[in-house]
Amino acid sequence: MADRKNKGALAAAYAAKRPEEVAALYDRWSDTYDADMSAAGYRHPTICLALLARHLPRGAAPLLDAGAGTGLIGE
């Protein structure tokens, strides 16, 4: 069921033509977005964290996640 929901939400995001449509879609999806993407196998946050950890000394300095997302990569 979750997989079907994810495919439907992603299809709607790709089909949106105006910024307002995209904003409305993600507003509706925001409560379950992180869990839905995790269940769908979304691994970008884990991959980004591994790359950062490989190249930055532990505790070197604070890191600002200045993206426009849910903050998954910054966790």
Domain boundaries, the chain: 2-42
Please tell me what DSSP assigns to residue 58.
Answer: T
Express each pLDDT in 52-64 by its tens digit. 888 888 877 787 7
pLDDT at 17: 92
Express each pLDDT in 1-51 by its tens digit. 456 666 777 888 889 999 999 889 889 888 888 888 888 788 887 888 888
d(CA 13, CA 21): 8
CA distances (Å), 29 to each of 6, 13, 33, 56, 59, in order?
10, 10, 6, 33, 34
How many angstroms from the chain centroid is the CA of residue 15? 18
For residue 67, pLDDT over 70 is answered with no
Model pTM greater than 0.85?
no
